[in-house]
Structure 1
Amino acid sequence: MTDRPWLAAYPQGVPADIDPSQYTSLVQLMEQAFKQYADRTAYSFMGKDISYGETDALSRQFAAYLQTLGLQRGDRVALMMPNVPQYPIAVAAVLRAGFVVVNVNPLYTPRELEHQLKDSGAKAIVIIENFAATLQACIAGTQVKHVVLTAMGDRLGFLKGHLVNYVVRNVKKLVPPFELPGAVRFNDVLAKGASAPFTAPQLQPDDIALLQYTGGTTGVSKGAVLLHRNVIANVLQSEAWNSPAMGRVPAGQQPTAVCALPLYHIFAFTVNMMLSMRTGGKTILIPNPRDLPAVLKELSKHTFHSFPAVNTLFNGLAHHPDFGTVDWSNLKVSVGGGMAVQAAVAKLWLEKTGCPICEGYGLSETSPSASCNPVTATEFSGTIGVPIPSTWMRILDDEGRDISATGQPGEIAIKGPQVMASYWQRPDETAKVMTEDGYFKTGDIGVMDARGYFKVIDRKKDMVLVSGFNVYPNEVEDVVAMMPGVLECAVVGVPDEKTGEAVKLVIVKKDPQLTAEQVKEFCRANLTGYKQPRVIEFRDELPKTPVGKILRRELRDAKKA
């Protein structure tokens, strides 16, 4: 398939293709940034700035320490931290030492953590002490031999660091008691590494950079094998795509991105951390995006230009009473990813910031970005945009054949330099998702219009089948989200004697007076009969992943109760 109708939608200056061969590895990309931007701020965290030069020196010390542990090239090192400066330092160190990063969600239970550590075969882990008790509960069943412990304030300087760590441990009591004999402290590791020799390995584009575990929302959590060239490609694709907007950052201002999404998630890993490295940008690290007052307080201190986020975060911030304390006037690009952006949220965000949300699309398996709306767009399109440079997308039927009819739904498949090599040690699972000609089958149902814009209708498994009719939860949620009294909502299918399945709607109210009857009336006016919810439930909050994706699975399981 050589025809790319979507190229006509590209803004002026965005190339059809990028050249990932300009770097042999992510290490080369990072080291170039360390050298070129040594005096610039790389990370801003709780009032403390850390320069590119400092990140360079500390990560080299950490890399030297890792090389003293007797690990072999290509061994896996797990990282289990929120957005603290120790995370990017550790990423750079692991890659520079010739090892593989295994990103771990800090909120995992011992069962989930044990599965990931065993599956990846990680020999070492860098973990924030808040979650050390989780590791203690499962480490015996894993191959982990080396534990590096860090604390929230470790890179904030002596006085402030001690104060922050004291508050976290003793006032907020966020560190449950744990015992991990032999664990070494992060700052001690840096001191040891300062006097240890460091040997830079010769890394190649096809070496593995990271194992990115897919959230486990579709069964057993699998590791997407992302090579150095996969992530490099996605960084360059994202840079090219954002350039029309980021090119408007005034001369003399350092491009600055808000990093409220967790860096262990591939969206923030690539589009915040690695892209900022490439452009010499500053990253504002937000350790807990759920604490909206703290997020807004931090943002009120900065000038920033780029804000990647998920729908729930845009929505929560836009509705917060402190929203006006932040200067949003410098914002050039708001990228929505991770889940569908709702029209009502996009409308409110544009009204309040003057910067439209550009919805993008991607997966852990695609490093992650595959498509995005043009950053020059002035209104919300309700689509996931068009494939980004060097990317091909198509719609397949159940037999894996191209659906040529425009607007006909099928499975979205993606091909490009950012697509993963495989699932880690799972040739069976890899074979299920890769076509013979190199397309990755996403499991998402979508349509493409004549201009090459794609729209996700839903996950295959989230579809609700009502009397033989397909109901896509995203559509119903988008409609209900437009009701003024609704803060958030989610749709799942529930068993129904008459229709096989019926639509269940779960709502978090903005207006306490909102009634089920009002919702039904609104749905009757906006949705055809079989799409209307038969069951309406009000809750105080919706179950979500740490990234803010709504867990429909948990709502589905709750229906049995």
Structure 2
Amino acid sequence: MFYPLNVKDFLDRAETVYPDRVGVTDEPTQPAPSLGAVSYRSLAGMARSQAAWLDGLDVPVGGRVAIVSHNAGRMLASFFGVSGWGRILVPINFRLGAEEIGYIVAHCGADVLLVDPELRGLLDSVPAKHTVVLGDDAMFTGGGQPRPWAADEGATCTLNYTSGTTARPKGVQLTHRANWLNATVFALHAGVTDRDVYLHTLPMFHANGWGMPYAMTGLGVHQVVLRKVDGAEILRRVRDHGVTVMCAAPAVLNAVLEALDSWEGEIPGRDRVRVILAGAPPPTRTIERIRADLGWEFIQIYGLTETAPLLTINRLRSEWDDLPAEEQARLLGRAGAPALGVRIAVSESGEVLSQTNHNLDAYWENPDATAEAQADDWFHTGDGGAFEDGYLSITDRKKDVIISGGENVSSIEVEDVLNSFPAVREVAVIGIPDEKWGELVTALIVTDGSPVTAEDVIAFCRTRLAGYKTPKRVEFVDELPRTATGKLQKFKLREPYWKGQSRQVN
């Protein structure tokens, strides 16, 4: 017998097993009325009401429902109310400008646009057949039974747009099967149980919150919604709600570490919280501080929106228990070992490839990009890496490899060293054209205000890096350009140096 996987399975289980448990504690301070504490029975009712509401608008199976929202209980419900009855949820980054959001809404052909009250101005600038401000409607309270959907696990469940660091964003089609398997495998490796309390520090729009809205719901986990990232507020939520697990980019944990300077009293969550990081290989120093200063378990994953996202996971192994803390941190700094059901390989050119049942189905209306990304039955990540002893290490984006004096230089390796320099707050390492070296290793640094010179930085690096990897040029800048999801836009940093060059390599 065969029963198709449907993301609504997670909500159905929560309603069946944990109907009266508080499933979601909504953000208390937000423009829309807070939902407060919501039981899983009520969350399931909200999802059914939303699906019936979409029936009333004649949104067909396969119709796209775009949502632009900060983390919120209503957004969490939409992962089920939209996709669970056959429509496609399109979570859009709320930090994007109106023109970028308008492009995505038009490109996917959204039937409905749902927006956060703080962004109601989008209703005037982004056209859609139906536009609604979350919190101003009865979509979650109208009741009624939605039309049944004969679930198809191969149907597109969500359409997640990439951040577009070098070109127009692409729509990543993730099926019900892909999202279901990603959430289940992720929860298995993270050791999630119904005794956990999950804090939504990660934006839900970002790769569907890495699948956590599904996984945590299916396992009956109490989910605490955080609308906006603030280091001290994260510590308060950990203390007040007994948080045990969260997902975050390195910048979020840096904010928490900075908040420790003014935190009074016992550090909450010590020896209880596990934090799952992804987005960029964090500096070894950051890993050490998370483990020592916060007392939280550090877990790292690697993946992309196109892989739903889980590809690898790195947790402390029993074999490492007796190693020095610094060596443990170094080992944890790798991207990790393949998750269950994931195959990893590295091409002859050094590109990381993956095979998994939760890779993307296709890029929306972009067959050429789909064929390129899925060539030879492997997903091509665009990242450079090494796969040794069962563990993947990300060395660079392929386009970020610096070739200086004929030697390949990993910008990530150089950045890791520079991040351990006390005066460095942020750093980006790029290659710029040079007649002698071909490409000159160049460090662009945001300091913490401490007096420091380029000579100081270079001397520091010489004691820790091979000569050809040591920056030959150091510049101090006020800020580094990033995408709305926090990705460093190195192509913008390179532009002034490579202007007029016929190629972007030298």
TM-score by structure 1 length?
A: 0.81
The alpha carbon displacement at 1:197 in A equals 4.5
The CA distance in 2 between the partners of 1:535 and 1:369, in whole Å, is: 37
Q: Is the 8 Å Cα contact of residues 115 and 122 (structure 2) preserved in structure 1?
A: no
Counterpart Cα distance in 2 of 1:430 and 1:137: 30
Q: Is the 8 A contact 2:67 2:91 kept in 1?
A: yes
**Which of 237, 261, 278 is the aligned partner of 2:202?**
261
Question: Which residue in 1 is equivalent to 2:433?
Answer: 495
* Corresponding letter in the other structure for 1:337: A
**1:66 equivalent in alignment to 2:54:** yes
Does the 8 A contact of 1:333 with 1:375 survive in 2?
no
Q: 2:139 aligns with which of 156, 164, 189?
A: 189
Pairing partner for 2:129 from 145, 160, 168: 145
> What do residues 321-354 of structure 1 show as CA deviations (whole Å, max 9, x unaligned)?
2456541225342211122121110011111123
Cα deviation 1:137-167 (Å, max 9, x = unaligned): 242xxxx2001102xxx4xxxxxxxxxxxxx
Determine which of 442, 466, 473 is the counterpart of 2:404.
466
SS of the residue aligned with 1:523?
Answer: helix
Is residue 542 of structure 1 aligned with residue 480 of structure 2? yes
1:318 pairs, out of 230, 233, 257, with 257
Change (3 A) 1:297 1:488: same
How far is the alpha carbon of 1:469 from its aligned partner? 2.3
Q: Deviations over 1:82-117 (max 9, x none)?
A: 101110122221113320011101111122112211
Aligned to 1:164: none
| Equivalent in 403, 410, 423 of residue 485 of structure 1 | 423
| Residues in 2 aligned to 1:22 and 1:533: alpha-carbon distance in whole angstroms | 57
8 Å Cα contact 1:395-1:447 kept in structure 2: yes
Q: Structure 2: how far apart are the matches of 1:235 and 1:375?
A: 21
Residue 388, structure 1, aligned to residue 339, structure 2: yes
**AA matched with 1:427:** P
Tell me the distance in 2 between the aligned counterparts of 1:466 and 1:74.
50
1 CA distance for matches of 2:168 and 2:27? 36
Q: Per-residue deviation at 1:135? A: 4.6
- C-alpha separation in 1, matches of 2:449 and 2:295: 26
CA contact (8 A) 1:242 1:375 kept: no
Aligned position for 2:384: 445
How many Å apart are 1:536 and its aligned residue? Answer: 2.1
The alignment status of 1:354 with 2:302, answered yes or no, reads no
- The 5 A counterparts of 1:352-431 are 352-376=293-317, 379-380=328-329, 381=331, 382-398=333-349, 410-431=350-371
Structure 1 residue 267 displacement after superposition: 6.1
Contact 1:494–1:501 (Cα < 8 Å) also in 2: yes
Paired residue secondary structure (2:345): strand
Give aligned pairs, total: 479
What's 1:506 paired with? 444
Which of 16, 20, 26 is 1:45 aligned to?
26
**Quick one: structure 1 residues 515 and 466, their matched pair in 2 at CA, closer, same or farther if it must change by over 3 Å?**
same
RMSD: 2.2
1:540 Cα deviation after fit: 4.1
Alignment of 1:16-31 (within 5 A): 24-31=5-12
Residues 304, 330 of structure 1: 8 Å contact kept:
no
CA shift digits 1:516-547 (9 cap, x unpaired): 22111101212223322233233344333343
User: Closer, same or farther in 2 for the Cα pair 1:254/1:483, shift >3 Å?
Assistant: same
Task: Find the aligned partners of 2:335 and 2:53 in 1 and give their Cα distance.
Answer: 43
1:273: which partner in 2? 213
Whole-angstrom CA distance in 1 between matches of 2:235 and 2:452: 28
Could you tell me which amino acid in structure 2 is paired with residue 76 of structure 1?
Answer: R
More deviation in 323-332 or 503-512?
Answer: 323-332
User: Does 1:300 find its partner at 2:239?
Assistant: yes
State the distance in 2 between where 1:23 and 1:255 align: 28
Range with bigger deviation, 253-262 or 427-436? 253-262
1:74 aligns to what SS in structure 2?
Answer: coil
- Are the counterparts in 2 of residues 477 and 491 from structure 1 also a CA contact under 8 Å? yes
Paired letter, 1:431 = A
Aligned with residue 33 of structure 1, among 6, 10, 14: 14
Letter of the aligned partner of 2:52 in structure 1? Answer: A
* 2:31 alignment partner in structure 1: none
Gaps of 5+ in 1: 1-20, 155-184, 248-252, 399-409
Report the identity percentage.
Answer: 27
User: Are 2:161 and 1:213 aligned?
Assistant: yes
